[in-house]
Amino acid sequence: MTNAVSIKNLRKTYKTGVEALKGVDLEIAEGDFFALLGPNGAGKSTIISILTSLTTKSSGEVKIFGNSLDTDRDKTKTYIGVVPQEFNFNIFEKVIDIITVQAGYYGIPRAQAIKDAEPILKELGLWEKKDSPSQQLSGGMKRRLMIARALIHKPKLLILDEPTAGVDIEMRRGMWDFLRRMNAEGTTIILTTHYLEEAEELCRTVAIINKGEVKLHETMHKLLEANGKEKLENIYVDIIQDSNNKTI
Amino acid sequence: MSPAKIWISYYTMLRKEFVRMVRIWSQTLLPPVVTTGLYFIVFGSFIGSQLQAIHGFSYMQFIVPGLIMMSVITSSYMNTVSTFYFAKWQRNLDEVLVSPTPDWVVIAGYVSGGVMRGLLVGTLVLIVSLFFTHLIIYNIAVLLCAVVLTSVMFSLAGLVNGIFAKGFDGISIVPTFVLTPLTYLGGIFYSIDQFPPFWRAVSLFNPILYIVNAFRYGFLGFSDVSIATSFTLLIGITLVLAVTALVLFKRGTGFKN
Ligand SMILES: Nc1ncnc2c1ncn2[C@@H]1O[C@H](COP(=O)(O)OP(=O)(O)O)[C@@H](O)[C@H]1O
Ligand SMILES: [Mg+2]
């Protein structure tokens, strides 16, 4: 089986000279629920931005379901739905318009998109708000709007960059249930988060990156087992501190 | 993407822009109509009535094509430069960038939005002009080709400006310091035949002069410059801008890291 994501020796140096990725290798299996962890500035968003073609890589190879970013970029785009770290919708547009326009960019006609949007918006608790301008939504609703927008073309791979940042506990649990169901229905999910209990709760595989390098890549089960069922948070802190000490 | 999907994506961009334009019509459609209406009153009626005829046409009849063209140029340019820059600034440009819509379709979508606004405003200004003078059409084909090409050209120019712009001042510098002077000196209010030889020669370096004259030829049947030169220039500049926009998109200049 081809992996959902295959990253080989990925490097990215920004124009400012910052070396954000220093040779990242990652294989993410189809159907996985994958946690991409690391402190601020580790390079998580940079990886996601490269996967979604918003940032160009400096070197290395990236494949999405076997399709190379270099030769089959359009194909890779049809597979991915992305929820970025920062809000990036037009605040003057209505919820339903943001969703249907996004669908249109994937070649889905508006009438079809309105039909497809209904169950998604209902499930995410946004149906009542569908005719509101997006700026009138609460922070948690804005996040869920971005999730709805990412799902409208039924992607096989859903990438979420800190989707629960600033979301209250109850709503976060609702989001967890939703993502678990998506994953159970076959969607591969990649998630970044600073809430380690969230990763522990949801994800089957975990990668920890620091300063643009992968420090650990392991199944959650084995990782917790090998560390005597210690909490993920303690393991994480050890790995980050360890790698920081080595580079100092 | 299949042609059918490309069409849907293009139509999506167009529909979105049309809805926006109509929703905020008091910002997009009304101002140029009011401004040119004032030009018609002040220059056409008050001052123009005391001026001698140009090539046998009243001053009012002479300035109508130029004033329509001025509003088409400004509206097309401002539409793409502001919508593209705003999408970049607010990052909702990412919505189309993560989708499989090809670059040339994104460019076509933005440019068509500018053309739509330019032609709509141009039509409204033409209608306003009918309150001041009657309509003369000498050659409708020349007229339509000139106005469509012009709005395509300036929509593309606005897009290129929007791609390079790094701040909100970056979207007003070119319109204020390049576009407006060239337009005012572009033969809207006078025929360069009336000029001394030196200023006549200087004027010939202004591309807007050729555009305004081609359009005026479509209405009145005379031009200060050759129509063939006008269209060669229009098509040439449009092609150069289209290629520039494509290259900038491919590189992601100004919007990809
Ligand atoms: N557009 C950019 N230009 C320059 N440097 C950037 C840019 N985006 C991110 N960086 C830098 O790249 C590094 C990785 O950032 P990022 O991928 O956002 O990390 P994370 O998402 O893990 O917090 C950081 O040092 C950050 O400052
Ligand atoms: Mg980040």
Q: Which residue pairs, CB below 8 angstroms and at least 24 apart, start in A204-207?
A: A204/A32, A204/A33, A204/A34, A205/A28, A205/A29, A205/A32, A205/A33, A205/A34, A205/A35, A206/A34, A206/A35, A206/A37, A206/A232, A207/A26, A207/A34, A207/A35, A207/A36, A207/A37
Residue B256 placed within a domain: no
Inter-residue contact A149 to A118 (CB < 8 Å): no
Domains along chain A with CATH numbers: 3-246 (3.40.50.300)
Which residues are CB-contacts of A229 (< 8 A; sequence separation ≥ 6)? none
Atom 1 in ligand 1: which residue has the minimum CA distance? B257
pLDDT band at A248 (very low <50, low <70, confident <90, very high): low
| Residue whose CB lies within 8 A of the most ligand 1 atoms, among A10, A18, A159, for a mutation test | A18
Q: What are phi and psi of A229, to 5 degrees?
A: 55, 30
Q: What percent of chain B has pLDDT over 70?
A: 100
**Residue B109 domain boundaries:** 3-251
Q: How far is A160 from chain B (nearest CA, A)?
A: 14
Question: A38 CB under 6 A from ligand 1?
Answer: yes
Q: Are strands A19-28 and A5-13 parallel, antiparallel or unpaired?
A: antiparallel
Distance in angstroms (rounded) separating the CA atoms of residues A24 and A12: 10
In a domain, B177, yes or no: yes
Answer whether residue B257 is part of any domain.
no
Find the mean pLDDT for residues B190-218: 90
CA distance A45 to chain B (A): 12
Q: List pLDDT tens digits, range A160-205.
A: 999 988 788 888 898 999 999 999 999 999 999 999 889 988 999 9
SS3 category, A3: coil
Cα–Cα distance measured from residue B46 to residue B35, given in angstroms and rounded to the nearest whole number:
16
| ipTM for the complex shown | 0.92
Distance of alpha carbon B176 from alpha carbon B158, whole angstroms = 13
pLDDT at residue B198 in the model:
86
Q: Are strands A80-83 and A67-68 parallel, antiparallel or unpaired?
A: unpaired
Which residue of A12, A26, A46 sits with most ligand 1 atoms within 8 Å of its CB, as the best mutation to test the pocket? A46
* Residue B199: inside a domain: yes
In a domain, B142, yes or no: yes
User: Is the CB of A166 inside 8 Å of chain B's CB atoms?
Assistant: no
Question: At A104, which amino acid appears?
Answer: G
Q: How many alpha carbons fall within 13 Å on the CB side of residue B102? A: 12
Domain count, chain B: 1
d(CA B90, CA B87): 5
Cβ-count burial of B131 within 10 angstroms (0-12 exposed, 13-18 middle, 19+ buried)? exposed
Q: What is the pLDDT of residue A72?
A: 94
CA distances from B219 to A132, B126, B187, B202 (A): 47, 11, 15, 25
Asked if B194 and B55 count as a contact pair (C-beta separation under 8 A), the reply is no
Question: Do B85 and B170 meet the contact criterion of CB atoms below 8 Å apart?
Answer: yes
Instruction: Please check the confidence at residue B75 and state whether its pLDDT lies above 90.
Output: yes
The pLDDT tens digits of the residues spanning B22-42 come to: 999 999 999 999 999 999 998
- Please state, rounded to an integer, the average pLDDT across all residues of chain A: 93
